[in-house]
Amino acid sequence: MPKKGKAKECVSIPIEGSLILLSEIQKGGAFLFLYGQNVEKYNSYRSFLEHGLKNNEICLYAFEDVDQKWHPEMIFKEYIENERLHVFPIDNLEALDTKISKTSTTAKSRGESLRLLVDFCNIANPENINTIVSSGEKILKKGKDIPTTSITAFNVNSMDYETVGKIMKMYEKVIFLSHTGELFAALPTFATVKTFKKPSLVAISQQTTEALVKNNLETLTLYLLHKKPMCGFDLIKTILHQFHCFLSQGTVYPLLYSLERKGILKVENSVKAKIYSLSEHGEKIRRSKVDEFKKAQRHMLSLIE
């Protein structure tokens, strides 16, 4: 598990469509892969498995069999018959742990490297989060026993913010891929990713990003609610997706209540949650705060450039 205090690096990489070439990941290490709804992930999975098989690694692809839109049994038939690739639908988490242990034992007995791709898809929820975290810890532990490259994947749209937070704490290397095709990653040792557009790479430490978000949370909240009315949970998810900064419910909701009391926000009760948007007064406050923020940033840049 990551050492306390070790900062992640947040990287924004332009890619074509929604394809990330997972074959470009360096051998070794454990990655958390969070993807949004309607993201094309199977080409990425194929590249990850192909790379391992070509390098004589023992591979395991485990998945929740709900939205299986590709058939690795056909693509990798020869490797499956030779027991180089194991394909395993996740019926229950205990069976998954057993399969991972058996595959690891096989790789270790042959003196070969192990490659794991486990896609929990939509099954991460409060009821089984402890079991999933336990499975994740076992996957991470495999890297200490034998050379292991692993990707653990989840559909972030099916997860609540507490579940996302618990899972993210386990990994130093995190990839998030949204439906817009933009990749956000926390990858201190990420290999070169081939891009199909003009190369562009912006790297900001997670500590810097979190400080910027938390110190300007009111301004950021007003800006985001100006773009789109949303509930508190959606606001937390939006900040996580766009800034790779996880905020607790105890941080966001008191701010929303305070802004509502001041008449800056107005609230509509939907079936599931309160939907916050800017009042007429709030729109004036937003323009003022955003303008002040921009001026402060320009002044700061003029002093340090």
The CATH number of 9-205 is 3.40.50.300
Distance from C-alpha of 117 to C-alpha of 45, rounded to nearest angstrom = 8
Q: Which of 2-16, 124-138, 175-189 has the lowest mean pLDDT?
A: 2-16
pLDDT on residue 194:
38
If you average pLDDT over residues 117-142, what whole number do you get? 84
Instruction: Provide the mean pLDDT of the chain.
Output: 79
pLDDT tens for each residue of 282-294 = 999 999 999 998 8
Distance from C-alpha of 234 to C-alpha of 216, rounded to nearest angstrom = 18
Distance from C-alpha of 273 to C-alpha of 161, rounded to nearest angstrom = 15
Angle at 51 (CA atoms; ends 11, 91), nearest 5 degrees = 90
Domain with CATH 1.10.10.10 in the chain: 216-304
Domain spanning 216-304: which CATH class is it, in words?
Answer: mainly alpha
Which one has a higher pLDDT value, 158 or 196? 158
pLDDT on residue 247:
86
Distance from C-alpha of 236 to C-alpha of 160, rounded to nearest angstrom = 10
In percent, how much of the chain has pLDDT > 70? 79
Q: Which of 192-201, 216-225, 261-270 has the lowest mean pLDDT?
A: 192-201
Q: What is the DSSP string of 244-293?
A: -----HHHHHHHHHHHHHTTSEEEEE-SSSEEEEE-HHHHHHHHHHHHHH
pLDDT tens for each residue of 84-122 = 999 999 888 889 999 999 999 999 999 999 999 999 988
In percent, how much of the chain has pLDDT > 90? 31
Residue 41, token pair as written in the block? 């992930």
Domain with CATH 3.40.50.300 in the chain: 9-205
